[in-house]
Amino acid sequence: MRTFLYILTTLSVIGLAFWAYRENYATQGALAETRDLRQDILEAHERLAVLRAEWAYLNRPDRLRDLADINFDRLGLLPLRPDQFGNVDQVAYPPDPIIEIENAVDVSSLGAEQAGEVLQ
């Protein structure tokens, strides 16, 4: 009986060692993948910062004004005049939505104490 327990214990230790070995390498692989993803995210942030800087550089008002002046005839642009702009009161805003009231309570016929209870 002791021999059987020794063999069973030895097999259990070997099985647990194998499991721990596999888990260790799986964890190391996950950590390496996480490092790679963080590096990719860092590189993407750097590229995004460069693109934002380039966009800001290309959209400088003085540069755009010069481009508009150079290509004025080719683009068929018209000079801006004050009468081309409208007033705020000329903007057609959508009408306010009509809110349906359900389960209305008439508080005018209630006393002051009851009205306070209904409103709470």
* Domain parsing of the chain, residue ranges: 1-69
Per-residue pLDDT at 22 exceeds 70: yes
Q: What is the pTM of this model?
A: 0.48
| Structure confidence by residue, pLDDT tens digits, 66-115 | 998 898 888 888 878 888 888 888 888 888 888 888 887 776 665 555 55
pLDDT tens string 5-14: 999 999 999 9
Cα separation, 55 vs 59, whole angstroms: 6
CA angle 103, 104, 105 (to 5 degrees): 115
**Position 3, amino acid:** T
Helix, strand or coil, per DSSP, at residue 59 = coil
Confidence of residue 53 (pLDDT cuts 50, 70, 90): very high
Unique residue bearing structure tokens 């860092």: 42
Question: pLDDT value at position 47?
Answer: 98
Residue range 52-63: mean pLDDT, rounded: 95
**Distance separating alpha carbons of residues 21 and 27, to the nearest angstrom:** 10
Higher per-residue confidence, 35 vs 100:
35
What is the biggest distance separating any 2 CA atoms in the chain, rounded to whole angstroms? 105
Residue length of the chain: 120
Question: What's the whole-number mean pLDDT along residues 29-42?
Answer: 97
